[in-house]
Chain A
C-alpha cells in the first residue's frame, strides 16, 4: 500500500466548494488514515456528496486543497482513478446490462488485463454470492442485490481507497450487515474506506466519524469519543404517559430534545444544563408540578443519535477547530 507509512489517505485544508451563493463544503480540514473506515455523518444537504465528489476530482474545489492518496485534486484526478472505487449515491450501473457485463465493463475500463479480469470477476462473484445472477440484468435485481453488485464493481480493481455515498440507503438490515462485513474484509486487505451513512448502527461501526452541518465539520473522532463528549447530558425518564411528559418538557430550558422509546422518554439535556444527576431530580419535579406523578429519572449513557441530534440543534460538543 502506497498510503502506508503514516501519510494520510485523504487530507483536506480549508476546503470549500460553493454553488452560486450556497456553500456546500465550508473550510473543511480533514485527515483520513490508511486502513480505517471513516464515516461521514450529517443531515441531507450537509455537503457529504459534494465533499466526496471533490475528493474524487469530479468537482473542483472553490478554495482550499484536497490531496487524495498523495495526489492533488482535481489536477491529478486521472492518476487517482485507477486507485479508487466509487459508489455514487444512486445505483449507477447499467441497468440494461447483466451482472456479468457490468463487471466486465468495469474490469475493462479500469484497465485490467484479460487474465486478471477473469480472476477478479471470479473473485467478486464468489465474494458477493452473485453467481446465480450473472446473467440477470441489473434492473431486475432487488435493492440489496444491486448494492452488492455496485460494491463488486467498485472493488473489481482492488482499489486502495473506496468512496461510498450512502451505499446502504433503502436496503434491509440483513443485507446492510453483510455489506459491512465485506467492508471490514476490505480494510483487512489494507483498503481505506470513506463512507457516508444515515444509519446510526452503521456509524457506530466506523473507526472514526466526521459530523458535518451545512458543510462545516462539527465533530471528528471515534464513535466512543463522540459519545463521551455527551457524558452527563442524557437522562432516561420512566413515566406512565410518555406523550404527556414530552409535552410538559417541551418548553423547559434545560431540555434540548426528547425521544420516546416505548415507555421511556430519552432526554438530551441542553449544553448549559446542570449535570445529569442534578438535572434528573429537577426533571421529576417539573413533571409533578405539571401534574404528572410517579416518574423516575436516571442518568444514562449517550448514544450516537444523541450526538447527531445535539449537533443538528447546534447545541453539541462543537469543536473549536
Chain B
C-alpha cells in the first residue's frame, strides 16, 4: 500500500463529506422526493392556511345596550364601521343573548354596561364585552383581531382601549399597565378558549412538516441502501458508523432549514403572518428539533426492513405528534393523559418555541425549558439510534 499518511480527523471529515455529497446528489436526482420536499410544505401551507380564512367579515351580531347613551351609540357606530360586525338585532338581556349564541343565530354579542357613559367620562375604564362564539375559532379570532384594530382606531380618537386578557396573542401596550383606560373592550371567547387562525397555524405547520419529512426521508435514505444492496458495499468500506450517520443527516438538515424558509416565506406572502422574533433565533430554536427528528429517522431506519415498514413506522410516530402536540387541538383543553403523552413529543415543545418566537417575539432565553426538552429527546433518540445502527449485516 502506498497510501499517504493523513490525520485521522481529516480522514473522517472527508468520509462524512463524501457520504453527504453522495446523498445530496442522489436527492437532487430523485425528482419525486425532491418535489415532495418542496411541495409538501407549500401544499400543506395552502391547504391549512386557506381552509382557515382569516378575512372574516359581517359576523351576525346582537347588541345588548344597557347604557342607551350617546356614548354607547357612538361606540356602536364605530363597531359597525369595522365591517366585522353586522349589528343585526338588539336583545333585552343576557339570557336571550346566550340563547342566540348557542343557536348560532349570531356569532357575537356586544354587551355595553349601564354605567358605560359615566365610567367613560370618569376615565375609570368602561368595559365593553364582546361574547364571541369561538366554537368556530376562525370567527372568534377574526373578532379578536378586529377588536384590536378597533381599539387602535379609537385610541387615535383619544379613546384608549386595551385588549382584554382573552386575546392572548396581542401584547398589551406598556402604558396600559400604568394608566386606567377610558374604555376597555373585553373579548370573551365562549366554547373554545383557544382561538386559532392561519397566523396561528402557519408557525405550527413548520413543526408538523419537519416532523413528517425529516424523519421519513432520513429513514428512507438508509433503508433504501439496505434494500438496493448498496449498504453491503458501504459497510465494507472504511466509513465508520458515526460517519455514515452524520453524512446521512447533514443534507437533510439543510433541507429542513429550506423547508422552514419555504413555509415562513409563503406564510408571510399569503397570510401576512407577522414574524415578531428575529429569524436567527428561530434558526437556533429549530436546530435541536431538526436533529431530534433526524435521529428519529435513523432509529426508524435501523428497525425497518423495508421502505414500506419505514414509512409506516414514521407515520406511527407522526400521527400522535400531529394530534397531541397542540397543533390540531388546544393543548390546554386536552385530557391529562393526552397532555402527558404530548409532553414527551418534541413537536409539542417545538410548537411553543416557534409560536413564541414568530407570534409573540419571545426570546430564546424564555424558551430554554422547551429547547432543553427537545435536546433531551434528541440525546435519547441519537443514543438509541447509535446503539441499533450497526455496520454489520443481520
**Chain A residues packing against B (C-beta within 8 Å):** 19, 53, 56-60, 74, 78, 81-84, 86, 88, 90-97, 101, 105-106, 108-113, 115-116, 153, 157-158, 160
Contact = CB atoms under 8 A, between A and B. Distances in A.
* 5 nearest A-B residue pairs (beta carbon): A108-B18, A81-B238, A92-B233, A92-B229, A86-B236
Contact of A93 (B17, B233, B236, B238): B233
Interface stretch (B23-31, B62-70, B262-270): B23-31
A113 B14 CA distance: 10
24 contacts: A19-B394, A53-B393, A56-B236, A58-B235, A59-B392, A59-B394, A78-B238, A88-B229, A88-B232, A92-B231, A92-B233, A94-B22, A95-B228, A96-B25, A96-B26, A96-B29, A96-B30, A97-B25, A105-B18, A108-B18, A109-B237, A111-B15, A111-B238, A115-B4
Given A91-B229, A158-B1, A81 B22 contact: no
B118 interface: no
A120 to B, nearest CB: 10
Contacts of B1: 82-83, 158, 160
A97 B233 contact: no
- B11, B232, B234: most-surrounded residue (chain A CB, <10 A): B232
Nearest to A88: B232
A125 B335 CA distance: 65
A106 B237 contact: yes
Contacts, number: 90
A216 to B, nearest CB: 21
B153 interface: no
B239 interface: yes
B3 interface: yes
Contacts of B18: 105, 108-109
Nearest to A83: B1
B6 interface: yes
Nearest to B30: A96
Contacts of B22: 94, 97, 101, 105
Nearest to A87: B233
Contacts of B236: 56, 58, 81, 84, 86, 88
A111 B25 contact: no
Nearest to A85: B236
B391 to A, nearest CB: 8
Contacts of A110: 237-238
A109 B19 contact: yes
Nearest to A82: B238
B352 interface: no
A233 B2 CA distance: 50
A87 to B, nearest CB: 8
A116 B3 contact: yes
Contact of A90 (B29, B30, B229): B229
Given A59-B393, A82-B238, A113 B26 contact: no
A97 B26 contact: yes
A84 B236 CA distance: 8
A102 to B, nearest CB: 9
B58 to A, nearest CB: 55
B393 A101 contact: no
Contact of B15 (A86, A93, A109, A116): A109
B230 interface: yes
Given A53-B393, A108-B18, A82 B3 contact: yes
Contacts of A115: 4
B240 interface: yes
B238 A101 contact: no
Contacts of B235: 58
A97 to B, nearest CB: 6
Contact of A111 (B6, B29, B232, B234): B6
Contacts of B392: 57-60, 74
Contacts of A106: 237
A97 B234 CA distance: 14
Nearest to B244: A109
Given A91-B229, A101-B22, A112 B393 contact: no
Given A97-B26, A116-B4, A109 B232 contact: no
Contact of A108 (B2, B14, B30): B14
B112 to A, nearest CB: 69
Contacts of A160: 1
A58 B390 CA distance: 10
Contacts of A81: 236-238
Contacts of B19: 109
A35 to B, nearest CB: 15
B351 to A, nearest CB: 36
Interface string B374-394: 000000000000000000111
Contacts of A96: 25-26, 29-30
B230 A111 contact: no
A287 to B, nearest CB: 50
A59 B231 CA distance: 14
Contacts of A116: 2-4
A81 B237 CA distance: 5
Contacts of A56: 236
A113 B10 CA distance: 11
A57 B232 CA distance: 11
Nearest to B234: A109
B240 A78 contact: yes
Given A58-B232, A82-B3, A108-B14, A94 B238 contact: no
Given A108-B14, A108-B15, A111-B6, A94 B393 contact: no
A112 B15 CA distance: 10
A81 B26 CA distance: 25
